[in-house]
Amino acid sequence: MKDGQKVTFHGEGVQGPGLGPGDTTVLDQKDHACCIYLTRRRPLHVYGHIKVTEALCGLQMPVSTLDNRTIDTAWHPRQIFKCGDSKCELNEGMQTYHRPCNKGRLIIENKVNFPENGFLLINSLLEKLLLERKEVEEADEMDQVDQMDFAPSQERWRQHTGEACEDDGVSPEGVQCQTS
């Protein structure tokens, strides 16, 4: 099913005195604050958050399905869950229109929650457990620069106001044409 598709449940509506059951019609999908599901055509997507430990060492995660069942999804210790990875459970997603026994895929997408900066005062133990870092040889031509956090919303503001150009010494109006 897709968003905005009309679905009618015949005989499932409210009954009144002397009246038979009416029809219930669903017209639109709305997001809810408590909902972790999202449909994109037929696949059903479920979103969650996992810790770095779970991403590296495996986890078992119960997932509630739309038909009020709970399925156990597991990532084994040798399966590393990277940012942007998705897992799929067949026949656990959205029902096919007019075929309630046929279900699509349930796509599970987890965001990996990393710890805050400074969570580990001494990182030598962590470095011993993880892969070695690549050492970079510093050359005389290398400039040392400082990094800062990037916020896309501020970047759009800088481009709109022309502040990005001012940093480079270029006027917001653009480059002057050369006259001969």
Least-confidence region, from 90-94, 117-121, 167-171:
167-171
Domain range enclosing 19: 1-30
Query: What's the mean pLDDT in 9-36?
Result: 60
Whether the pLDDT of residue 144 is over 60: the answer is yes
Rounded to the nearest 5°, which phi and psi values hold at 71? -110, 150
Q: Which of 85, 116, 147 is the last residue of a domain?
A: 116
- Same-domain pairing of 40 and 78: yes
Q: Which residue has the higher pLDDT, 111 or 172?
A: 111
Give the domain CATH number at 107.
2.60.260.20
- Same-domain pairing of 109 and 37: yes
pLDDT at res. 81: 85
Query: What's the mean pLDDT in 156-169?
Result: 55
Q: Which of 116, 148, 173 is the last residue of a domain?
A: 116
Which residues, at least 6 apart from 137, have a Cβ–Cβ distance to it below 8 Å?
none
- Same-domain pairing of 22 and 44: no
What is the Cα–Cα distance from 82 to 74, expressed in whole angstroms?
15
* Total domain count, the chain: 2
- Same-domain pairing of 42 and 25: no
Digit-coded pLDDT (tens) for 55-67: 888 888 888 877 7
What is the Cα–Cα distance from 62 to 72, expressed in whole angstroms?
5
Q: Which of 81, 99, 116 is the last residue of a domain?
A: 116
- Same-domain pairing of 111 and 37: yes
pLDDT at res. 15: 65
How would DSSP label each residue in 85-142? -EEEETT-SPEETTEEEEE--EEEEEEEEPPPTTS-S--HHHHHHSPPPPP----TTP
Q: Which residue has the higher pLDDT, 139 or 53?
A: 53
Digit-coded pLDDT (tens) for 45-95: 888 888 988 988 888 888 887 778 888 888 888 888 888 788 888 888 877
- Same-domain pairing of 49 and 112: yes
- Same-domain pairing of 25 and 52: no
Which residues, at least 6 apart from 130, have a Cβ–Cβ distance to it below 8 Å?
none
- Same-domain pairing of 16 and 48: no
pLDDT at res. 33: 45
Whether the pLDDT of residue 32 is over 50: the answer is no
Confidence band of 3 (pLDDT split at 50, 70, 90): low
